Structure 1
Amino acid sequence: MSDRFQISEVEESDLEEIALMIQTSSTSSLSPRIVLEFRNVPRSTFLAYNLAGLRSEFNGCASSNGLAEMYKIVDSQIDKIVGFAVWGWDESTVDRLFSEKAKVPLPEGTNTVLRHRFINELSEMEKSIRPKGRYFELLELITAPTHRRLGLGRQLINIGLSRADAESVPCYLSGSPMGVPVYAKCGFREVGRISIGLDEYLEEEGDEEFKGVVHVHVGMVREPAKMGDV
């Protein structure tokens, strides 16, 4: 990575800036499911919801004795955070982070039917496809829309992959198909997917852009590289 982009662990003072980056990414055309889930939620309320979730994750990582870690990439030219990732190094710690974050109340106006359907289907899929035994999990990966296609996401992914190869541990993640090309280049392979048609959740005249759209979420696993392949 060039000197322009610097990776370090997230500090509590970074959370508001990261929440703004998440909101920018989530409300773009890249995530129609999230747009439909939260379209009736004011932007300020959605930002507060994202921030509360981040605080939950941050506190969970801080109390995990190093079993989960949050990373950021800062663009030194503009002094802004442009990438963010969370890695979990222990299954029970990952489960605890998920359960604590799930306690953050959904904001009023959320399409809870769509939200709960997605969470339930994702949970059922993951029960059968997560690696058996010890594994690492990429819990979050976001790059700012202005800084995509610069290899920043791959740098954040490589934090976990380097450790996984050194310790001969597989890695797991779930995400949208948009990220699959990057994950595949890093050695991940698809092991499961869910598909949710969005037509039944359309309510407004302006929803024509979502007609026929199917939200897809994939689960992927990467086996550790052999010593000769690293």
Structure 2
Amino acid sequence: MPTRYVAKEMKTQAEMDAIMDVIWAANYDPYDPYAQLFFPVLGFTPSAREVALAEAKSRFWNSHTSTAASNWYYVQEVTTGEVVGCAQWEIHSENPFKNGAPPMRAPWWPEGEYREFCEEIMRQVYLPRANWMRRPHMVLNWMAVVPSHRRRGVASLLIKIGTSRADELGVECWMEASTMGKPVYEHHGFRAFLKMQFDMERKDANDVWRKCVHELTPTSVSPMWRPKGGIWELGGESVRLPWESGPE
């Protein structure tokens, strides 16, 4: 039977634009608060959404071209050429957290509580990664599949691109998984260490912050790790876990 899907590495801004269309479609069905955190639609009209999408496409392309570790891949349906899935894998050949977790910035939000709220969510997500991944590794930052092509092997194709490259390099893998995505990552050798609930309480919070808490707090995420080669036991003994290994 002919292969239905083909995976490609993103090289052009037009390909990045198609990838962003996939991310928007995936994060609105079902709706995920992460979509609004990273892609705020600052208005209530179709034109406001168009402006937000254009900003996101430009921002992600600029971020990719200025980040040496960034590698984007996408999956096309062979018969139609439609882009139906995407993933960003970063390759870190050395410890990226020598100076601790990087400061989180969300300049796509206007200054104020919304920006601060987004930055605090990002800070909490990064804490386990910055504490435990202080060695060369690959990290999956983004994964999305359009709703009409889910459960057809698209996500697995994108995961294998990263894990195969990690095995070639002899490094660990890391990611933060949603509840929906967690089973497929487990199938590829990742294991979750904890389930993170976001603590967004603030003393003397104003109405805007409370609105953010109500509307924008994401569901829990699970930091997940895959050891070198996906091998969890060596010589009958369990591998050293991230918090048991120091920086290399």
Given the two structures, how large is their TM-score scaled by the length of structure 2? 0.71
* Counterpart among 215, 223, 226 of residue 222 in structure 1: 226
What residue is the counterpart of 1:105 in the other structure?
Answer: 108
Instruction: Give 1:14's aligned amino acid.
Output: E
Unaligned runs of at least 5 residues, structure 1: none
The answer (yes or no) to whether the contact 1:23–1:50 under 8 Å persists in 2 is no
What residue is the counterpart of 2:123 in the other structure?
Answer: 120
User: Aligned with 2:197: secondary structure?
Assistant: strand
Q: 1:70 to 1:102 in 2, by over 3 A?
A: farther
User: Aligned with 1:195: secondary structure?
Assistant: coil
Q: 1:76 to 1:48 in 2, by over 3 A?
A: same
Task: Tell me, in whole angstroms, the C-alpha distance in 2 between the residues paired with 1:94 and 1:2.
Answer: 41
Q: Give the alignment's Cα RMSD to 1 decimal.
A: 3.6
Give 1:172 deviation, angstroms. Answer: 0.7
The question of 1:136 aligning with 2:138 is answered yes
Q: 1:109 to 1:24 in 2, by over 3 A?
A: farther
Task: Tell me, in whole angstroms, the C-alpha distance in 1 between the residues paired with 2:55 and 2:113.
Answer: 11
The answer (yes or no) to whether the contact 1:72–1:83 under 8 Å persists in 2 is yes
Task: Tell me, in whole angstroms, the C-alpha distance in 1 between the residues paired with 2:28 and 2:22.
Answer: 10
Which is richer in helix? 1
Given the two structures, how large is their TM-score scaled by the length of structure 1? 0.76
Unaligned runs of at least 5 residues, structure 2: 202-208, 234-248
User: Aligned with 1:105: secondary structure?
Assistant: coil
* Counterpart among 62, 87, 92 of residue 89 in structure 2: 87
* Counterpart among 50, 55, 73 of residue 56 in structure 2: 50
Deviates more, 1:35-44 or 1:169-178: 35-44
What residue is the counterpart of 2:238 in the other structure?
Answer: none
Task: Tell me, in whole angstroms, the C-alpha distance in 1 between the residues paired with 2:160 and 2:138.
Answer: 12
Give 1:161 deviation, angstroms. Answer: 1.1
The answer (yes or no) to whether the contact 2:86–2:145 under 8 Å persists in 1 is yes
Q: 1:178 to 1:141 in 2, by over 3 A?
A: same
Q: Deviations over 1:28-59 (max 9, x none)?
A: 33413434773644311320232123212431
Give 1:225 deviation, angstroms. Answer: 3.0
The answer (yes or no) to whether the contact 1:40–1:110 under 8 Å persists in 2 is no
What residue is the counterpart of 1:4 in the other structure?
Answer: 4
Q: 1:191 to 1:52 in 2, by over 3 A?
A: farther
User: Aligned with 1:177: secondary structure?
Assistant: coil
Q: Deviations over 1:90-135 (max 9, x none)?
A: 166978xx97x957533689932431221121122322232x3211
